[in-house]
Amino acid sequence: MGFSQAQKAESRQRVLDVAARQIREHGLEALGVADCMRSAGLTHGAFYGHFSSREALIRAALEQALTKGQTRLRSRTADAAEHAKTPLEAIADAYLNPTHADNPGTGCALCALAGDTVHATADVKALYTTYLRQLAEHLTQAAAGGRESENQAVGLGVVATIVGAITLARAVDDRELALSILTAAHALVMTQDGAARRTD
């Protein structure tokens, strides 16, 4: 008896969930098809029923990881007022904390894959670049209190700060230094809260 389309879609989603987590935890090049399929509860032979190649899996997993990150970010921004925070403060709190730094597999793919993408294929770089631009635009608006702003430098600066801080906090072997990096980056980001409004 063959699989239904719904079963096939569910299996594909399981593979994507596993692959998205694995690339954020271990990098793009470390993703192995056999291990990924086994972790998703499927056989290696079932792979080509879902993806044409390992590269296609990487692209799809990266796209999923980036999209989920974008959804979480928009949710944090939308809920900021409920927690008596500005949109930029809610984003800074979500990104620049030890829980995010300690859990790359469920965190922002921009942070997890900054180093890997340097050596990635053109289409993977294009996906990364598109999401980075979208994040910078969102952060520009967050810094402007949700208003439209032409001051894109603020958003790009905040992206560079948060991605750099998480990357460094994960790289060092000194917990206190890692926490200091996150705290310092958070303070720096918060100096931009309202900056776009002041310069418009």
Q: How many CB atoms lie within 10 A of CB 6?
A: 8
pTM: 0.84
Domains in the chain, please, with CATH? 61-199 (1.10.357.10)
Could you tell me which of 108, 94, 97 has the C-alpha nearest to residue 24?
A: 108
What are 46's two structure tokens? 């079932």
List the chain pLDDT tens, one digit each, 200 residues. Answer: 456 788 888 989 999 999 999 999 999 999 999 999 999 998 888 898 889 999 999 999 999 999 998 898 888 888 888 888 999 999 999 999 999 999 999 999 999 999 999 999 999 999 999 999 999 999 998 888 766 666 788 999 999 999 999 999 999 999 999 999 999 999 999 999 875 444 44
Measure Cα distances from 193 to 51, 133, 158 in Å: 43, 19, 10
